[in-house]
Structure 1
């Protein structure tokens, strides 16, 4: 609603707006503007937006929060009597925005003219809100802090007024009215200046005022309290009312004109004004029920309401359109409430929407069938999610929805589902085109030789095939020409297409490989090589099963270099009804094998004369060969005195395929041995005899040869060390097994030792006990003890030995001990102790 301050028929009429249950204070003074009472706000953040005259309907008490952030001065304003010297004490805050350019002022009229009222006007601000933060940091553009009682303001007159203020449309200002004392009765505020008095403009911008209006039929009070008034005459639509006081209470807000005439104590009319009460009437209309089909077009639910509803209301729950348009396809059925509001006035109406889902016949389809195709259910061709139970037209030969391309004709076939009382029938169609199938002919088998000429596969098809088709897999020719030299055997498919119709036939190609005799080959043999299959000498990939000419001695293809003659041999494979035969030639060359003789071996003494190794070879070797390793004397001459034993190879080489041949003469060398030392470890449990020799020619330890050793002249061993040698006297013999100085070397040795037992029974065998070869130690002394340590006897190297008696008494069988003490040839002490057994044997 707009604020209206305009004259009607010479009298001032005003449209009144206020919040519910708030009195409207009407001041009838000499000023040409109506003044409305407003609820006082003591903080800047809650400043009341105004676009017409206003005032307080009672005292102004306190200041809420300190809007000056502890400051005691703001422009001309000093401490306002509040705690701690704050600018505010009992404040009322307003804000307004200029709607035109020009001179602006206002008048603050205390209800009690003896009261002191001050003010501060702040601005201008570019924004209509959010300006309170600037109050404490910038001085007011106009203010009053005179300390005098009575009226004050801007531009109207008197010393208590500040100069007029020039304003520009769109500027916003904040006004703080403050009462210095804590006792006050309120004030009225009216505006003046050319921007206010010009009837062609609205001085203040009412669009920034957020006010509530009265709802139609709401109870309100009119307060016309006027200074110096004695009584009031109220009338409604020209009819005088009984009320004579300043307040007309309990009236209903309707589009009614009220008039009040104010008289002073002298019954003089001091003012007469007419007022029209502003009434806000809201009408949401009358609710209704509506049935919709899900396929219907969106519907504005507003059109369903009865009773001339107001536009501009809201619907809940919110529709997908964001407006009142209900789309049956996306919105859900249910109750939708239409609400109309104006200020605090609200009216509602409900539309109950029922949505019936329309049966779905699916989406249209366009199909193409081949005349030879299988029957198809047209229902399956429809798009979307069609429901079953529909009827097809025109009728198909099947009597159902099955289309048979061989009997039914091209055309449009419609599928229809019946409707209901709410939803109409639905239908969709399938546009069918039947295409005549082409003829690809009939299948065939083709047999061709691998070396045959190319053929056109199309000419091999049976029946009457249509031309213009394609072959797969693709042939190397890029057409239907099959080349057995480059294309592979297999199935080749001929496909011909007419629209969506096609037909296929196949040619199954079998390639018979021409017999492959390979390609000509050449081979060279040595006469000593093993028989060879000439087939393996052919080049390429020859096949088996052919015949060789001339005939070989083997009767097959086996060539024996020792029998068959060199020359050209032809290999031939027979042909078939499809492929001709083939042949190839192997040229054979035979080389004669050389003869190196046969292996032999020979043993020589280092003292033997030189020999020619060629004469040692067996067989009939060819001359002109080479000996390896090379001999010092050269030309195959072997000198035992200077050459080494080993294998000497005689090699004969020749040109051609024959490999070189060789024979080996294995030579072993020996020399007579010389005994250089005999080491004897005797008089022990294990007598050891070690024989050391060297070669008579080489003078090297153990010489060159195969030597055997013996200490008894009977048993010869290759080992030169003998263990467990019994005590006794021996002749050492060393032989060369190769016959160099055989049995030529001997040496006599003595092994000293103690017998382990004796049998003193006078049988001439072991009748006495003595150290064997004791004479090797001429100064030796031997004592014999019984087991109690009693000396049985004392022996010397040349004595006969102990006979087993002690003092003429034969001693019993048992163990006895000996102690041998002597010095050797070098003067070293030799001492031995041991035991032996006396065994009594009677025969």
Structure 2
């Protein structure tokens, strides 16, 4: 046997024994025999051969015949339409191996580098990748990477909402319920992530169209973000739900904080804990009461929303002096008994008046000077007392809509203005001098000023109209028909006819009215017509209409 053959057999034996020890399973075909259970083209030999051995042409030939494992890839890949894509990636199975990229499973020319998917068109595209070690053959077959360009599939649901109606009574104060609707034709597979009061993020998945969060406290909130698991381009939706506070609602109290200060008085920081038990912590809109400026300021305490979600905000009104006595202007009627000027204001400031008594004949100003030594140095106060003449209204003018109008309107024409109130008969006083839909007959109008210092009435406001029906049944009520509001006119005349135009009765001022008879015989229930001759503003007029007789 020649030297070449002996060397070759030795090398084959050595390689087979070494690779078997590493539990390698690739099959390697050699030109003069078959070597089994090989898994690597390079690493097992890095410590077994010298640089000169690797340079040997026979050794290179041997390594070139060992199979190469494929690179690791991720497939399938989903990209949204028109999104920005990045070059594809793969991980070689052998350190230092070179990746080669293709667009065909077999044949074709390798691309210059990793391809970047095009996302302008919806659909799927398959790319392929192989690797070539430093000393070895290209991996085969080519490894596919499927890239799916997906359109925006719409929304997960019409309304992602909180639905407490689906919570069992036992859980209503300790859980929230998120509900959504499935999109017809889409897989029902969702990913959820949520936080409670902004805490750690919890994740999960579901094939249902709802998600309930348990273990919460009254007033706490949970914010859930919902995404579709298999359709990545459906926009995510987020909603926040709250556990009801119910009887757990509480208002922070601060009874020991003063609500009044003198100007430039020293103050301390407002407490960040309430005086409730247990105390409620939070923050103030300003950490300290400002006494540099006189006036009233509202300070707002906002409870910590995470620790005390059921605590309400608290508004504390703080007044800074000097304080002004809170007397107000007023008015009196001339000649009436005058009230005493109080020596202490409603807000507790004592002092003296100048003048000391009120003049009930003339309007004037009155000065209140606080007594010295009072807290916060109260300021002086001037009020004005208005004396309104009594009995100033001495006349009342009015107009009435034309007789027999559909809407009878009485309008006061004198006096008028914002300082007067008006009354029809015994109704309520009103600011408007106009009364609509006034019934027929005689009425009373009263006018008074706002202060009640002057009042005037007229009881002779006549509205001319006719009764729409009468009932001649001798019950003492509404037994005759007449236009009584014309009784003061000496020359009015009313003619009554039946529905066929037959003359039945003539009424004069002295008449008591028609009793519903003709020639002593009762007329039947029906509509009857009339014609009335009267004068309005000394102008002769005639009015015609009809009324009903009811038995």
Normalised to the residue count of structure 1, the TM-score between the two structures is: 0.26
Larger radius of gyration: 1
Normalised to the residue count of structure 2, the TM-score between the two structures is: 0.37
